[in-house]
Amino acid sequence: MFYSGNWNDEIDVDGFVILNKKQTNYISKFLRKFKDQISISLGFGEDVEYENGKELLDEITFQEITSDECDAIKKVFGESNDFGDNLILSIKQNAEDKNLEFKPFE
């Protein structure tokens, strides 16, 4: 999963998280159903705001990779970068604020 957004027309933010198909489907369905405003933390006290989960989903792309590509990425970068982690944690926090479960890794 790749995320590419922009904060305040000043900073481009890019992140990634390696997901399996089940996790990809879970996150995609969750965001399509999330109708409230959603804030994604940039990790330095600022957020990118979206009207709803669908708007955030428009900034996310999913790309299938081979097992070899996955292993190479994990070896060099790990399963995500810092902003990829912030993205997942922010979605989880927004869900919890609305008393919704967000458990794509279970």
pLDDT digits (tens, 9 = 90+) for 51-102: 999 999 999 999 999 999 999 999 999 999 888 898 999 999 999 999 999 9
Residue 11 pLDDT greater than 80, yes or no: no
Residue 39: beta bridge partners? 49
* pTM, full prediction: 0.87
Domain presence at residue 13: yes
Return the number of other C-beta atoms located less than 10 Å from residue 24's C-beta: 17
Range of the domain at 79: 2-97
Q: What is the C-alpha to C-alpha distance for residues 106 and 98, in angstroms, rounded to an integer?
A: 20
Write out the two tokens for 54: 């669908």
Residue 27 has a pLDDT of: 96
Domain presence at residue 28: yes
Q: What is the pLDDT of residues 34-50, one digit of tens each?
A: 999 999 988 778 888 99
Domain presence at residue 75: yes
Write out the two tokens for 99: 């008393």
Domain presence at residue 73: yes
Domain presence at residue 103: no
Domain presence at residue 106: no
Helix (H, G, I), strand (E, B) or coil at 48: strand
Domain presence at residue 86: yes
Residue 19 has a pLDDT of: 94
Q: What is the C-alpha to C-alpha distance for residues 88 and 5, in angstroms, rounded to an integer?
A: 14
Domain presence at residue 27: yes
For the chain, how many structural domains are there in total?
A: 1
Count of positions (residues) in the chain = 106
